[in-house]
């Protein structure tokens, strides 16, 4: 937005600048998701009890810094399948089909593979190939292709299906977050761009149906910034609906319950929450390969850290999730509907099972790509400093459990093939080969979690539950848009960061077009 010198932009960020070395080091992302109280880079949310998952509360880390969750995610560069975006268009969202959004993916991208019909090479977002640092990567790919799963050199190309090596938002051994790629090159260099950190937005103020100001707290003071033209809400699938509701935009019953004046009754605010249900399968390896939190592993990590600090090399220079791909959960599926990541570490529970991580091993992360279960985001109270209340409601739809069970069988077959058995000492989670539906379902209910891909709570559309239109303007209001994962009517098959960046690029173009005839003042949350 600030490329136009006639536009003034104020960016309000609840977190800090995100300058910690843990943020910039690709291999350190697991440390960022921990729920230590001193972890100020992370919102550290928790869900309500999940009925289909043995009433477990799910820990829900989200980025709290400039760049948001792109500062703590796994950096996997995946856009989603062509059919995902065509489905958005079929729902009535003109301009959001695959052919409409591909130019924005290409515009954003600076891919080390160079430019072609699918990729760009001159955009701000650096995309690089994953490194084949660990033997388990090639073993998994060979095992999968040996069982007739196809190899795929480019998951963002002509077809998504297959196994191979991922690309990452990494440049020269450092995380290429949206802060690093979009903000850092211009922050402090453009007089029309103002960036405020530790600025917790409390509410958007309205005159009638028109957004006119943003109220926020900073350094213990309550401040207000007027907005002559537009407020752009970019808080993500949890914080964006929370802010709208705190501002009087949302389901009437929810607002009145907390004593909030209703500015506009939009029943879909906070609804349609969904994420990819995922599951981990961990195995102990025969040899000391990969990463482990034990004495030998620590000594290896010290060596690797020295190499990283002096040469930007070692496994710390690239996320340790380089291998994986997209598979079909059953022969009758007409497209890939599950995703896998291969990790050279035995882990589970958001890397909080430290005892498990002392073992030499590897983990396969499996998730299903198009879940039907839907949850919600609501308010605990009217206090803007409170966390939002949320329930992902994972696996509440019976089709999701069936799909995840089928996908588990597909992945378990790969992991117990001769090629992978040559690496395996024994299964850890689950601790044996699971045969029956009942065994698999019990494991799923005990261990399934989310994939850090929440979307949908301010969905784009034309139905009565839609929150924004196809130009991301909030229905029934003026001068306010939402531009983040919350506007996705349905989640894409794969990691969501690349799609969020595309949404930002496309939103900026639409805003410029809609306001090109006048000078603007735009506040972005």
Q: What is the pLDDT of residue 278?
A: 96
According to CATH, what is the number of the domain 131-165+277-368+396-447? 3.30.410.40
Q: What is the pLDDT of residue 520?
A: 46
CB atoms within 10 A of CB 120: 20
Per-residue pLDDT reduced to its tens digit, 155-196: 999 999 999 999 999 999 999 999 999 999 999 999 999 999
Residues 8-35, mean pLDDT to the nearest whole number: 94
Q: Which residues pair with 249 in a beta bridge?
A: 264
pLDDT for 519 beyond 90: no
Q: Is residue 74 annotated as involved in ligand binding?
A: yes
pLDDT for 518 beyond 50: no
Per-residue confidence band for 37, with pLDDT thresholds at 50, 70 and 90: confident
Residues 90-117, mean pLDDT to the nearest whole number: 97
Q: What is the pLDDT of residue 242?
A: 98
Mean per-residue pLDDT over the chain, rounded:
95
Q: What is the pLDDT of residue 515?
A: 83
User: Read out DSSP for 238-281?
Assistant: HHHHHHHHHTTEE-HHHHHHTT---SEE-TTTTEEEB--EEEEE
pLDDT for 500 beyond 90: yes
Q: Which of 202, 258, 453, 475 is catalytic?
A: 453
Per-residue pLDDT reduced to its tens digit, 217-239: 999 999 999 999 999 999 999 99
In angstroms, the CA 106 to CA 180 distance is 18
Per-residue pLDDT reduced to its tens digit, 388-436: 999 999 999 999 999 999 999 999 999 999 999 999 999 999 999 999 9
Q: Catalytic residue at 453?
A: yes
DSSP H/E element including 171? strand 170-171
Tell me the domain boundaries of the chain: 7-17+193-272+456-524, 131-165+277-368+396-447
Residues 69-77, mean pLDDT to the nearest whole number: 97
Name the DSSP letter for residue 179.
I
Name every residue whose Cβ is closer than 8 Å to that of residue 221 and which is 6 or more positions away in sequence. none
pLDDT for 38 beyond 90: no
pLDDT for 523 beyond 70: no
Per-residue pLDDT reduced to its tens digit, 196-221: 999 999 999 999 999 999 999 999 99
Q: What is the pLDDT of residue 522?
A: 54
In angstroms, the CA 325 to CA 345 distance is 18
* Within this chain, domains 7-17+193-272+456-524 and 131-165+277-368+396-447 share the same CATH topology: no
Per-residue pLDDT reduced to its tens digit, 317-356: 999 999 999 999 998 899 999 999 999 999 999 999 999 9
DSSP H/E element including 318? none
Q: How much of the chain exceeds pLDDT 70, in percent?
A: 98
Burial class (CB in 10 A: 0-12, 13-18, 19+), 163: buried
Tokens of 485: 């994962």
Fold of 7-17+193-272+456-524: FAD/NAD(P)-binding domain (3.50.50)
Tokens of 232: 């752009």
Q: Which stretch of 8-17, 40-49, 117-126, 302-311 has the lowest confidence by average pLDDT?
A: 302-311
Write a three-state SS string for 426-489.
EEEECCCCCCCHHHHHHHHHHHCEECCCCECCCCECCCCCCCECCCCEECCCECEEECCHHHCC
Q: Is residue 75 annotated as involved in ligand binding?
A: yes
Q: How far is CA 306 from CA 171, 190, 202, 314, in A?
A: 19, 37, 44, 9
pTM of the model: 0.96
Q: Is residue 73 annotated as involved in ligand binding?
A: yes
Q: What is the separation of C-alpha 504 from the centre of its chain, rounded to a whole number of angstroms?
A: 14
pLDDT for 517 beyond 90: no
Q: What is the pLDDT of residue 36?
A: 82
Per-residue confidence band for 525, with pLDDT thresholds at 50, 70 and 90: low
Per-residue pLDDT reduced to its tens digit, 380-391: 999 999 999 999
pLDDT for 111 beyond 70: yes
pLDDT for 379 beyond 60: yes
């Amino acid at each position: 937005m600030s490329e136009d010198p006639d536009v003034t932009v104020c960016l309000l960020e609840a977190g800090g600048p995100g300058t910690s070395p843990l943020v910039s080091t690709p291999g350190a992302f697991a440390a960022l998701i921990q729920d230590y109280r001193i972890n100020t880079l992370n919102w550290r949310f928790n869900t309500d009890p999940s009925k289909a998952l043995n009433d477990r509360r799910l820990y829900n880390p989200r980025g709290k810094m400039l760049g948001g969750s792109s500062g703590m995610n796994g950096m996997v560069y995946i856009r989603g399948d062509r059919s995902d975006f065509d489905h958005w268009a079929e729902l009535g969202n003109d301009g959001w089909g695959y052919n409409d959004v591909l130019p924005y993916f290409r515009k954003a991208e600076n891919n080390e593979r160079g430019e072609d019909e699918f990729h760009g090479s001159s955009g701000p977002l650096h995309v690089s190939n994953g490194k084949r640092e660990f033997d388990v990567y090639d073993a998994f790919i060979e095992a999968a292709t040996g069982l007739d799963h196809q190899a795929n050199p480019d998951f963002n190309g002509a077809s998504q299906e297959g196994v191979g090596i991922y690309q990452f938002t990494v440049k020269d051994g450092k995380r290429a977050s949206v802060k690093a790629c979009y903000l850092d090159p211009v922050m402090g260099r453009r007089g029309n761009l103002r960036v405020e950190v530790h600025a917790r937005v409390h509410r958007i103020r309205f005159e009638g149906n028109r957004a006119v100001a943003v109220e926020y707290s900073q350094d213990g003071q309550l401040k207000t910034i007027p907005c002559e033209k537009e407020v752009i809400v970019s808080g993500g699938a949890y914080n964006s609906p929370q802010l709208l509701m705190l501002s009087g935009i949302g389901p009437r019953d929810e607002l009145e319950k907390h004593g909030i004046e209703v500015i506009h009754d939009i029943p879909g605010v906070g609804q349609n929450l969904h994420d990819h249900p995922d599951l981990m399968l961990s195995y102990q390896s025969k040899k000391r390969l990969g990463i482990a939190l034990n004495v030998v592993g620590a000594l290896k990590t010290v060596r690797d850290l020295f190499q990283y600090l002096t040469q930007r090399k070692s496994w710390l220079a690239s996320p340790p999730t380089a291998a994986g791909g997209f598979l079909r959960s059953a022969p009758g599926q007409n497209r890939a509907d599950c995703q896998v990541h291969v990790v050279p570490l035995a882990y589970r529970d958001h890397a909080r099972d430290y005892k498990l991580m002392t073992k030499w091993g590897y983990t396969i992360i499996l998730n299903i790509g198009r879940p039907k279960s839907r949850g919600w985001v609501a308010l605990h109270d009217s206090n803007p400093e409170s966390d939002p209340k949320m329930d992902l409601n994972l696996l509440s739809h019976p089709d999701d459990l069936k799909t995840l069970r089928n996908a588990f069988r597909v992945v378990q077959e790969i992991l117990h093939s001769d090629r992978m058995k040559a690496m395996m000492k024994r299964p850890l989670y689950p601790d044996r080969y699971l045969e029956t539906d009942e065994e698999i379902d019990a494991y799923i209910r005990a261990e399934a979690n989310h994939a850090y891909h929440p979307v949908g709570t301010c969905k784009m559309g034309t139905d009565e539950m839609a929150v924004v239109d196809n130009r991301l303007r909030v229905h029934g209001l003026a001068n306010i848009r939402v531009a983040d994962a919350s506007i996705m009517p349905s989640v894409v098959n794969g990691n969501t960061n690349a799609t969020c960046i595309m949404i930002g690029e496309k939103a900026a173009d639409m805003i410029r077009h809609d306001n090109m005839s006048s000078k603007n003042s735009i506040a972005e949350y």
